[in-house]
Structure 1
Amino acid sequence: MSSQLKQRFLKLLKEDEEFRYAVAGLLGLEEILKRLDRHEEQLVKLREDMNKLREDMNKLREDMNRGFELIERRISALGARWGLQTEEAFREGLKGILEKEFGVKVERWVERDKEGMVYDHPSDIEVDIAVKDGKTILIEVSSNIKASDIPIFRRKAEFYEKVTGVKADRLVIVTPYADDKALEMAKKFGIEIYTKV
């Protein structure tokens, strides 16, 4: 820049208020634009960091959900296994007491239901039978009983009668837990439920 141009520029800055404000505004605007550029870079980086964090959080959530599902499956399997083992132990204990103390013969009856009378498809049907003085009692031992289990037990009794020609004198369910609907339905069908509830 020539010295004449500099002097003219400085003179305008001193004497012309409008020119002075225009130059100040331009200088300020340039500074603001520089700052905005810096902030925009920081915002872009922040946005990238937030997107990465969101991806990491989603992955963590997926991993946690998979972990919870695995734990739930293992607990369910353990519960089912414990329930079956408990039912078997209780069944053996009941059989021992009834046979030794009361002279009741108890046996496990298993028969193939080829027509699907009980479960609507071919399956093996199991039920405990107690016999004394010519009276037959069908016994179902289960870790818990729902209302939907009652008609199944009733169909087991009908299947037993169809196969053996013997109508059970009593139908008995032994369980530590039966819901209210199951108790109500059992009463309606003449099925006795022995439970702690």
Structure 2
Amino acid sequence: MLRRLGEMDERHAEIERKWAEQARRLDAVERKFDSTIGALGARWGLHSEETFRSALRGILTDFFNLEVVQVNEYDETGEVFGRPEQIELDLIIKNGTLLICEIKLSMSKADMYLFERKARWYERCHERQADQLMVISPMVDARARKVAERFNIIVYSFADDAGMALTETE
């Protein structure tokens, strides 16, 4: 009887080891899956943002006769990011009117502050005051909107266009 109990304990221990191994393998698969989905989402976001920017540039240029310039300059002093870094901005120009524009798929509070710093950096470097700062984004965080109001940044967003339709119920 004791021998049988010993054998059962050994089998139980073996089953426990196998379950633990399966759990480790499942965790590894889950981590790889999460990583792959995250990378896919990031790639999708970058391509979607560039497609959105390109379409808007084409519409503004072709139909409204506006000049759209993508600025890609280097902040050597680190004024914007706290260290030297590349700065990207979109400018919309018509008859001398300068709009500095941020076109992104989503805007957080930190993104809004960063856009304001980039715009002020551009104004100082080019010794030209923007007539208006503008954000075009389908998703703008409520806290980012408060920052935009504080800096007088115009925000164009899906939520603005959808209005109350997003919260109405039948």
The CA deviation at 1:159 is: 1.1
Instruction: Indicate yes or no: 2:145 matched with 1:187.
Output: no
Could you say what secondary structure the match of 1:68 adopts? helix
Of Structure 1 and Structure 2, the greater helix share is in 1
Greater relative contact order (CA < 8 Å, ≥ 6 in sequence): 2
**1:92 and 2:34 correspond:** no
What is the distance in 2 between the residues matched to 1:108 and 1:132? 15
Q: How does 1:150-189 map to 2 (within 5 A)?
A: 150-189=112-151
Aligned to 1:35: none
Give the TM-score normalised by the residue count of structure 1.
Answer: 0.76
Relative to total residues, which structure has the larger strand share, 1 or 2? Answer: 2
Q: 2:81 aligns with which of 119, 126, 144?
A: 119
Query: What does residue range 108-147 of structure 1 map to in structure 2 within 5 Å?
Result: 108-147=70-109
What is the CA-CA distance between 1:142 and the residue it aligns to?
1.1
Find the aligned partners of 1:184 and 1:122 in 2 and give their Cα distance.
Answer: 28
Pair member with larger Rg: 1
Which is worse superposed, 184-193 or 120-129?
184-193
User: Take 1:107 and 1:166, find their aligned partners in 2: how far apart are those partners?
Assistant: 15
Amino acid at match of 1:103: N
Alignment of structure 1 residues 28-107 onto 2, 5 Å: 38=1, 40-107=2-69
Q: Give 1:176 deviation, angstroms.
A: 1.5
Q: Distance in 2 between matches of 1:189 and 1:44?
A: 75
TM-score by length of 2: 0.88
SS in structure 1 opposite 2:39?
A: helix
Q: In structure 1, list runs of 5 or more residues that go unmatched.
A: 1-37
- Partner AA of 1:97 in structure 2: I
Percent identical: 31
Moved over 3 A (4+): none
Query: Which position in structure 2 is the counterpart of 1:10?
Result: none
